[in-house]
A and B are shown apart, each in its own frame.
Chain A
Amino acid sequence: DTGVSQNPRHKITKRGQNVTFRCDPISEHNRLYWYRQTLGQGPEFLTYFQNEAQLEKSRLLSDRFSAERPKGSFSTLEIQRTEQGDSAMYLCASSLGPSGGTPYEQYFGPGTRLTVT
């Protein structure tokens, strides 16, 4: 297995446009996480899925953001009506889980860098 992949790696869009990112997790991983990393900051949790169910969303995830994970495989993160403040690196991670004890390692993808002009 080649690890977590994300596409596209870079996206430049104009303010007001919609964008969609894709994350392909490690195949046997049933948990999938989205994080956002802005310049000079550490990643911040956005949302996570257990199989196809979205179980938690951060307050950072405004109504313009939506995430899906159909059939519990790949996931998409869509941002509608993009704003300049959405410019960031969007990271996806996957893991086995839940562990019920010592957590499984989260494996991160390379990220999608979004620039909103």
Chain B
Amino acid sequence: AQTVTQSQPEMSVQEAETVTLSCTYDTSENNYYLFWYKQPPSRQMILVIRQEAYKQQNATENRFSVNFQKAAKSFSLKISDSQLGDTAMYFCAFMKSGTQGGSEKLVFGKGTKLTVNP
């Protein structure tokens, strides 16, 4: 079974600064996908960024980038130029590579509560 560990229950950062959220995972699979989801207070979860395990290049989406270290099973999220709207719970998630018809279910970590201070 796969497990995802987020070791930072809470973090805070000043507006406009950079913050890195950590995630490690455990799997025996070779092909898989990793995700960061954002859950703002009282709002629905949205996808921030995803990484295919077979790709060596780290994914980036505007101010969000990841540091994917496959051998170390590490997948951290860097948020640059933090904004007040980045305040949210951030969840790291794992998905096995789907064979045809596989469930593609997500396995989540416990989350990191990020607060961006003005």
Interface residues, chain A, with chain B CB atoms under 8 Å away: 3-4, 31, 33, 35, 40-45, 48, 50, 55-56, 91, 95, 97-106, 108-111
Closest-by-CB residue of A relative to B47 is A105
Binding site for A on B (CB under 8 A): 4, 33, 37, 43-47, 50, 52, 91, 93, 95, 98, 100-111
Sample of 20 further A-B pairs with CB below 8 A, known A42-B109, A45-B106, A108-B46: A3-B44, A41-B111, A42-B110, A43-B108, A45-B103, A45-B107, A48-B105, A50-B101, A98-B98, A98-B100, A98-B104, A100-B98, A103-B98, A105-B47, A105-B50, A106-B104, A106-B106, A108-B45, A110-B44, A111-B44
Complexed CA–CA distance, A110 and B107 (Å): 19
C-alpha spacing A111/B83, complex, angstroms: 25
The reply to whether B91 and A42 form a contact with Cβ atoms under 8 Å apart is: yes
Give the nearest-CB partner of A40 in chain B: B110
CB contacts (< 8 Å) of A110 on chain B: these are 43-44
